[in-house]
Structure 1
Amino acid sequence: MPEPDPEEVIDAELVDDTNLPAIPDHHPTLIPGSQNDPDAWLPPEAQQDIAAGIADATRAAYEHHFKAFANWCATESRRPLPAAGDSVAAYISHLTRTPREKTGKPYGPATLDSIIAAIRTVHRDRKQPVPETKGARQVVTGYRARLSKAKDPASRPNKTSPAKRDVLRRAVRTLDRTTLAGKRDAALLLLGHACATRGGELVARDIESLIPDPEGRGFTVKVYRQKRKIWQDVGVFYDEDPELCAVRATYALVDALKDEGHTTGPLFLRMDRWGYLAPPMKRKGKTIGDATGRMTPQAASDVVERAMARAGEPGRWRSHSLRRGFVNTAREAGADIVAIGRHGGWADGSKALIGYIEEADIFSSSNPLAQINEAERNRRGNS
């Protein structure tokens, strides 16, 4: 299983226990001194309902992290479930000193925080005593301090680069928009930015998700906001710049798909190098991938990354860059933080959104120093 993208992981309290390590028979499953609760069980349909409330990205991330923890416990002759707090602390300490094969460097502090949360959540889900993790978090705090003193970039969150309007313009200019693949990629970039979607939210759109505005101003997109678990109608206007118009780009894709006989279902389909839609994919002789041909969030990130590479844009580019870029662009245009948040599906007062806004406001008129300068200019003009 590939390592999860932290910016695609959604917070959750429960996870599916499929493929998680079994509890050894010789270990207690309850807090010492407690009694079995005859009501502490769930019927299959309730278990399914709980699983349905968890984002796929979260489930995959927690499974990935807990399996790695369980494997380490096996090599250290430690118990993964229920785990001791010292085991979690020792594991996190181990990770701060263990380079990953993919990058040659240990995990960063933010990922270690996620791993601790995953271990706690799996215990809670399986009704096991949740390990005390103060020691593990102190390990992360010390690790972050060491990295900061060494001016290591890993001490800072590994955020994606924001795809603002000027960056998007350079990226879409690298596409051949006369081809089906070029039309798809342009629509993906521009619609993802206009709707401020996460990758999973974007690729889940169907052609039927697009509802034309009766007054001809654009269309409404029905978006399922993964974190808040709500449906939202997002209004997308025709853009003053046709080159960056998400409405025109999306309709161009819909028309091209119709020519291929695809009129319902996924809006964003995988293609092979020759432009064939939804080609079958196999791994070790087994068919993989969505049967409908729908792209994955990883494939959407690949589209963004390739376009930015062709445009020569430095940075870390993922599908989440479109969401962050929307916030930056809207804020620089003077949009209100509440309006930005509600358009992008953030809860009012979202800490994540506030972080994006602070980033956009560094050199804006909202910067307190800019306001001090403006006040000084006014004072001098009146004196």
Structure 2
Amino acid sequence: MTTEIGLPASAPAERQALIERWAERHGVDAARRLAEAEDLADAVAAEITPDNTVDTYAKSWRVWSRFCAATGLPELEGSRGALVAFVTWMLREGQQNGKGYAPSSAGTHLAAAVVGLRERGAKVTGDDQAEARQALEGLAVRLLQTGERRGRGQAVGADIDGLRAIARACPNTLTGDRDKALTLTGFHYAARSQDPAGLLTGDVTLHPRGLVVAVLTGKTKHSVRNAKIRYADDPAICPVRAWTAYRARLVAEHGQQWADPSTPAFVGIDRWGHITGGMGPDSVTRAITRISDRAGVPIAWTGHSLRIGLASVARRKGRDGIAIADQGGWARHSRSMLGYMQRDDGWDDNASAGLT
């Protein structure tokens, strides 16, 4: 069943009303073409939305659905009261184990749930969303005032001692070579977990002075930065040597096809040594944690530890902030980068030291 101008009757009411106004203003044929352009715009938006964003929206909608089921509220009503109740529920008991979410996680679910509501035709005003956000921030302050800390906080940064321990602990297998290359190269270009997961073999090229890694960067406006990684003075933790050893072994053991520039740069390997395809962001995160745990690193690293580590170690060694930003793909003078430039203990790098 369709409307007079050929729009499916199941289309959202707002879109249908818009197209009917176009028909009155421009005629039926023009309205149909404008409707097709809207469909194209929707398809393009879906195609360019990163997979991790889609996953976040889906996960947050499941959280919203659990909230509605628990409270008896209708799923497609995003009123002021419902949104405030949602953030309150998330902080008190929202996780599936009955515990409350960390405020940062609750904020992510709130934003994504609002997107989901609007996509499904529910009206959510900016004022109602803002009030829910304000309630969340106020409740988060109350948690801090009562001494409750939630969330993991900032991940621990990778350091040179940890890299040495990891290099020593990697077994003499293809998996070990991949783990060493993944960690050492990732540290030197300040990798997020999605960065090595998105690399193709052709994105990493040898240069007389090292490697050039073409990293897709940016969360909304994508560009490519060419991070340059030099040979290290210490061969044991040299990212260039680790990369070439891993790739040579991969081709030798599994065939010349893995030298093709279109193949994944970092492959998944099961316990029997079989290639399972390219690594995804979650598998990179799990690998970094497993690798650091195997090496006996005191606090296990996460998928963000390599990124934090480059910024903090480079700063301690006196590297220029702009050079650090360019290598890691941060905006110059980025707040997040400055936050990653962690102080060791607050004694050596202390603003008040020697003032009196």
Q: Deviations over 1:63-93 (max 9, x none)?
A: 2102321342245443433511211110111
SS in structure 2 of the partner of residue 88 of structure 1: helix
In the alignment, does 2:209 pair up with 1:211?
no
Aligned to 2:3: none
Distance in 1 between the 2:292 and 2:249 partners?
24
1:196 aligned residue:
190
Instruction: State yes or no: 1:137 paired with 2:133.
Output: yes
* Number of the residue aligned with 2:251: 258
Cα distance between partner residues in 2 of 1:315 and 1:150: 27
Local SS of the residue matching 1:231:
strand
**Equivalent in the alignment of 1:149:** 145
Instruction: Determine if the alignment matches structure 1 residue 114 to structure 2 residue 112.
Output: no
Q: Which structure has the larger Rg over C-alpha atoms?
A: 2
Whether 2:316 is the aligned partner of 1:369: answer no
Per-residue deviation, 1:190: 0.8
Structure 1: runs of 5+ lacking an equivalent? 1-24, 279-292, 377-383
Code of the residue aligned with 2:200 in structure 1: it is: D
- Is the 2:193–2:281 contact (alpha carbons within 8 Å) kept by the matching residues of 1? yes
Counterpart of 1:274, as a letter, is: W
The answer for the alignment partner of 1:223 in structure 2 is 215
SS state at 2:213 partner? strand
SS at match of 2:57: helix
2-structure distance, mates of 1:47, 1:339: 39
**Compared CA separation, residues 269 and 58, structure 1 to 2 (3 A):** same
Q: CA deviation at 1:277?
A: 1.6
Q: Against the structure 1 CA distance between its residues 330 and 127, is the aligned structure 2 distance closer, same or farther, given a 3 Å change threshold?
A: farther
Q: Which of 218, 225, 230 matches 1:237?
A: 230
Quick one: distance in 2 between partners of 1:364 and 1:120? 45
What residue is the counterpart of 2:339 in the other structure? 355
AA in 2 matched with 1:340: I
What is the rounded CA distance, in whole Å, between the counterparts of 1:184 and 1:75 in structure 2? Answer: 45
* Residue segments in structure 2 that go unaligned for 5+ positions in a row: 1-9, 23-30
Q: CA deviation at 1:159?
A: 2.3
Whichever residue aligns with residue 163 of structure 1, its letter is: A
**Structure that is richer in helix per residue:** 2
Q: Matched residue pairs, number?
A: 326
Q: 1:29 to 1:119 in 2, by over 3 A?
A: farther
The amino acid across from 2:142 in the alignment is R
Distance 1:62 1:158, change over 3 A: farther
Question: What is the match of residue 317 of structure 1?
Answer: 301
Alignment pair present for 1:328 and 2:324: no
- 1:116 deviation in Å? 1.8
Contact 1:207–1:254 at 8 Å: present in 2 too? Answer: no
Q: Does residue 258 of structure 2 align to residue 275 of structure 1?
A: no
Alignment partners' CA distance in 1, 2:102 and 2:240 = 39
Counterpart CA distance in 1 for 2:134 and 2:339 is: 24
Counterpart CA distance in 2 for 1:351 and 1:29 is 42
Q: Aligned equivalents of 2:203 and 2:223: distance in 1?
A: 15
Between the aligned partners of 1:341 and 1:157, the Cα distance in structure 2 is 25
Paired amino acid for 2:143? L
TM-score, reference length from structure 2 = 0.82
Aligned partners of 1:93 and 1:136 also within 8 Å:
no
1:37, distance to aligned residue in structure 2 (A): 5.6
8 A contact 1:324–1:356 mirrored in 2: yes
Once residues 318 and 21 of structure 2 are traced to their aligned partners in structure 1, the CA distance between those partners, rounded to angstroms, is 56
Query: Offset of 1:236 from its aligned partner?
Result: 0.8
